Structure 1
Amino acid sequence: MSDDSRIEHDAYGEAAIPAGRYWGAQTARALDIFTLGAERFPAGLIHAFGLQKLAAARANRRLGVLAPDLSEAIERAAHEVAQGAFDDHFPLSVWQTGSGTQTNMNANEVIANRANEHLGSPLGSRSPVHPNDHANRSQSSNDTFPTVMHLATALALRDDLHPALSLLADALAEKAEAFADVVKIGRTHLMDAVPMTVGQAFDAFARQVALGRERLEAVTPRLYRLPQGGTAVGSGLNAPAGFDAVFCQEISALTGLAFTPNLSKFEGMGGHDALVEVSGALNVVAVSLTKIANDLRFLGSGPRCGLGELVVPHDGLTSSIMPGKRNPTIAEVVLQIAFQVMGNHGTVTAAGASGNFELNVAKPVLIHNLLQSIRLLSDGCRLFAERFVSGLEVDRERLDGNVAGALLVATVLNPVLGYDRVAQITETALREDVTPREACLKLGFLEAAEYDRLVDPVRMARPNG
C-alpha cells in the first residue's frame, strides 16, 4: 500500500482507496469495472441522496431500529452530503448496474466513513457505523434509487425549472402588453393572411410557456409518491412496519414538499411511469420553445433582406468573416436545447419501458437524461428571457408598410361584396402590383370613403372589441 492510499476490507475482500477519499470497497471495485464514458450524475442527485439517507436515519431512529448515537452521526454526515460538502467523493459513471446499486453503495460508504470520523474512528473502519447495516438500514438500492430519482426531479422542478418558466412567460407577457397596439399581418402556410397585433403573437407565446408549467404541475401528485419502504422487490422485507410513512414525514419536513408513500411499491420500483410523464411534459415545453424561438428569429430576419418586423437585441457577437453581422445566437441555443430534450425524452421513454418483473433496470440513464433536460430547459429559459426576449423591439415602419400593401385585408369585405368579388380584388391587386384599395376602386366595387370605413386593419385585428 502506498502512502497515498489505504486498504479497506468488506465481505468480498480488500480494495485500495485513495487517501482522503470517503468511498469504500464497493465504490472502488465499481470504478475499476465501469470504465466507460465521462458522464457523471449531477450534483442535485447526490444532494438528494444525502436527504434520503438523512430521512431514512431519522425514520429508523423513530422506529427503534437504529441506536440514537449512530443515527445522529449518520444524520450529520448525510446532511453534509446534502449540502454538497462531499460532491467530489462520488466518482462513478452513469453507466453502471441498472438499479443504481453502485451509487447507492457509494452514498452508504461515504456517509458511514464520515459518520465514523465524527465518532472518532478512522476511515475504512466500518465500525461503529456500517455502510450496509446502518447507513442502508431498512433500505435496498431497489427502492432507494427510485426514491432519490423522484426527490431530485421534484427539487429541480421546484427550484429551477418552474421559476425559469415563470420568468420567460412574464417576459413574453410584458412584450405582449408593450406591442398591444402594433398592427401586423398574420401569416398562415408561411403566406400573408389578415391583420393582427404583435401583442397577440406574444400573448400566444406567453400562453404556451404558462401551459407548459401547468402540465408539469399536473404531474406533481404522482411524482410525490415514493417507493421507499419496498426494499428488495416491493414487499418491504427487512423494513419495520410503518417505515414508508415515517420516512415520507421526514423527507417532507426536510424538503417542504408533500411526499407520500406509494401504495404499490411494486409499481414504483418495477415501473417509472411518473418520471416518463414528467419527461413528456418537458418534451412539450421543448416543442413550445422550438415554435417560439423559430418565430422570433424568422420575424427578426434581415435586417434589410428578411422579414425584419422584429429587431433582435445585439449580444456583441458577430460573424468571423462578415463584419457587423448580427445573428440570433441565443434563439439558436434555445433550439439546440429543445432538440436535446426531445432526444432525451426518447431515451427516457425506452428506459421507462425497461421494467422487468419487479425492477426497472435502466434507472441511471433515465434519471441522467431527465435531470439534464430539466437543467437545460431551466438555463435556456432564463437566458432566453433575460438576453433575448427582454431586448426585442419592433420595426414600426416596416410593419406599417406591410399592412398598407397587404392583399388580404380585403377579406373583411366578404360579407359586403361576397367571396368572388373580393377574390377579383386580390387577384387584380397582385397582378397589377397595386394595393387592394386601388384594385377595389378600379373595379368599381366601392367608393373610396366606403372602402376606408370598412377596411380598418386596427379594427380587423380585434373584430370583437
Structure 2
Amino acid sequence: MNEVDKFRIAKDTLGEVKVPEDVYYGAQTQRAVNNFPISGLRLPFSFIKAQAIIKASAAAANKECGVLNAKKADCIIQAAEEIINGKWNEQFVVDVYQAGAGTSQNMNVNEVIASRAAEILGGKKGDFSLVHPNDDVNMSQSTNDTIPTAIHISIAGQLYETLYPAIDHLLEVLEEKEKEFHSVVKAGRTHLQDAVPIRLGSEFKGYKGAVLSVKNALKEAEKYLFDLGLGGNAVGTGINAHEKYAVLAIKEIAKRTKLPFTQSENTYMFMQNTNAAIRISGHLRELAVHLIKISSDLRLLSSGPRTGLAEITLPAVQPGSSIMPGKINPVILENLYMICSQVIGNDSCVTTAAIGSQLEINPMMPVIGYNVLQSITIISNGMNVFTDKCLKGISANKERIKEWLDQSLSLVTALNPHIGYEKAAALAKESFETGKTLKELLIEKKLFTPEEAERILDPNSMI
C-alpha cells in the first residue's frame, strides 16, 4: 500500500486536510491533532461517554421537536450509544491541551458520530453529506454549552461510580480499626512531644471523622453538578434551538445517567463560570490533605522497627531496599502521599484555569475537566489500595505502646488538680533529669501513698 492509499481527503471551511483512511473523524479533528502535539494526554472515557450522552439526548430532543429528520436522529443515537458502550475509544485523539473551550473536542465527537451514522445509513465513513457533524449532530448545541455540560455529567458520574464507594470502603475499615483498638491506651503526642494518654482507637476515630466531613461536603456540592445549562448554545441565549429542546434534552440526560440533572435557571452564569468543578476540586484537595495527614501519622507510628515509635505494625507488601536486606518500607502510605500531592497540584491548575473565564465563556474548560476527573480517579484508586493493602492489616504493638506510655512525662498532667501546675512541672523536670518515674517521686516525697499514686497516674483514668 503506497502513501496515497493510506489517506482520504477531508474538507472543512478552511480547505482540504489529509485524514487517515480508516478513522471516523474528519478535517477539524485532524487539524487539532496537527496543531496540538503537546502531551499525548486525552480526556478520559468518562468525559467522552458524557459527550456521547449529550449527543444522543440532543438528537432525541430535536427529533421530538420535529427539527431533525427521524431517520438521521435514530442513526445519530445509535452511533452515540456505541460510544457510550465503550466502542470507538481510539477515535478520540485530541490532546487535553487543545483549542480553547474544547471546540476541537466537541468536533471530534461530532465527526465520529456523523461518520458512523453515515455508515449505518449505508454510506461510507467521512461522508458528511448523509449526516453532517455541525448541522445534524451538533444541532441546537455549541461547544460553549456542551463542554461544561460534559464536565458536569462526567464528574457526577465518577463521584458515584468511583469516589463515593472508595470513601465508604475507607470509612468502614477505619470504624473497624477504631473498635479493634478501643482498649489500647497509649501516649498522646502534640507538637511531636509527649502529651496526655489517648486510645489508639480514638486516633482512628479522628481519621474517620475527617474523611466523613469531606464526603458530607462533596454531597452538598454535588447539587451544583446537577444544574445544566445545556440549551444556552453559544452565549446563553439559546439561539438556533427549539424552545422545548433544552427541557427535553436534559430530561433524556437524566434518564440515561439515572442522576437528577435539571435545567439551569441561569444559563449565562453556567457558561461564564465553572463553579461546580471548582467546588468539587476544592473538596478533593481537602480530602488529599486529610489523607496525607493519615499517611504521615501511620508512617510515624510504624517507624522502626527497632529505632522508631513502632506502636503499630504495617503489612509487609514488598522489599523496601535494593541494598539493605530485610528492610520493609511503608510503601502504600508513601504511594498515597504522592497521589494526594498530585491532587493538590491538580486543584491549583483548576483554580488557575478557572480564573481564565472572560465575558461569556471560560476557554480553559478542557484542562479543568481533565484535572478534576484525574483527581477523582487517582484518589479513589489510592484510597482503595491503602484500605485493602495497608489499613486492614494494621496491628497494635501493645508491649511497645505500654513501654512508651509508662515513660511519658505528660502523665504529670493528672497531678494538676492535686498539687498545682508549678509543682507538677517541677516533678516532671526532676523525673526527666533523674530518670525516676513520676510514681517513684510521688512516693519518695511522701506526697501520696503508693495506692494513691497508682490511682492518680492510671492512664485509664485520664481518657
TM-score normalized with structure 2 length? 0.98
**Quick one: which of 52, 60, 63 aligns to 1:61?**
63
Q: Which amino acid aligns with 2:417?
A: P
Task: After TM superposition, list the pairs within 5 Å mapping 1:165-244 onto structure 2.
Answer: 165-244=167-246
Task: After TM superposition, list the pairs within 5 Å mapping 1:48-447 onto structure 2.
Answer: 48-447=50-449
* Residues 271 and 353, structure 1, Cα contact 8 Å, conserved in 2: no
- How far apart, CA to CA, are the structure 2 residues paired with 1:444 and 1:239? 91
- How far apart, CA to CA, are the structure 2 residues paired with 1:80 and 1:266? 32
* Residues 32 and 99, structure 2, Cα contact 8 Å, conserved in 1: no
Q: State the secondary structure of the residue aligned to 1:215.
A: helix
* Residues 426 and 439, structure 1, Cα contact 8 Å, conserved in 2: no
Q: Deviations over 1:301-356 (max 9, x none)?
A: 00000010010110023200000100001101111111111111111001111111
* Residues 27 and 105, structure 1, Cα contact 8 Å, conserved in 2: yes
Q: Percent sequence identity over matched residues?
A: 39
Q: State the secondary structure of the residue aligned to 1:263.
A: coil
- How far apart, CA to CA, are the structure 2 residues paired with 1:73 and 1:317? 55
- How far apart, CA to CA, are the structure 2 residues paired with 1:408 and 1:33? 65
- How far apart, CA to CA, are the structure 1 residues paired with 2:444 and 2:408? 17
- How far apart, CA to CA, are the structure 1 residues paired with 2:184 and 2:244? 62
Q: State the secondary structure of the residue aligned to 1:3.
A: helix
- How far apart, CA to CA, are the structure 2 residues paired with 1:406 and 1:422? 14
- How far apart, CA to CA, are the structure 2 residues paired with 1:100 and 1:64? 29
Q: State the secondary structure of the residue aligned to 1:446.
A: coil
Q: State the secondary structure of the residue aligned to 2:101.
A: coil
- How far apart, CA to CA, are the structure 2 residues paired with 1:177 and 1:128? 65
* Residues 309 and 395, structure 1, Cα contact 8 Å, conserved in 2: yes
- How far apart, CA to CA, are the structure 1 residues paired with 2:398 and 2:310? 10
Deviation at 1:421, TM superposition (A): 2.1
Deviation at 1:242, TM superposition (A): 2.6
**Quick one: which of 33, 36, 39 aligns to 1:34?**
36
Aligned length in residues: 461
Aligned-residue Cα RMSD (Å) equals 1.1
* Residues 412 and 454, structure 1, Cα contact 8 Å, conserved in 2: yes
- How far apart, CA to CA, are the structure 2 residues paired with 1:16 and 1:180? 68
Deviation at 1:408, TM superposition (A): 1.4
* Residues 121 and 127, structure 1, Cα contact 8 Å, conserved in 2: no
Runs of 4+ in 1 over 4 A off after TM superposition: none
Q: State the secondary structure of the residue aligned to 1:14.
A: strand
TM-score normalized with structure 1 length? 0.97
Q: Deviations over 1:116-137 (max 9, x none)?
A: 1111011111132111111001
- How far apart, CA to CA, are the structure 1 residues paired with 2:449 and 2:295? 43
Deviation at 1:96, TM superposition (A): 1.1
Gaps of 5+ in 1: none
Q: State the secondary structure of the residue aligned to 1:195.
A: strand
Instruction: Give the structure 2 partner of residue 8 of structure 1.
Output: 10
Gaps of 5+ in 2: none
- How far apart, CA to CA, are the structure 2 residues paired with 1:289 and 1:193? 23
- How far apart, CA to CA, are the structure 2 residues paired with 1:223 and 1:317? 44
* Residues 94 and 364, structure 1, Cα contact 8 Å, conserved in 2: yes
Q: Which amino acid aligns with 1:433?
A: G
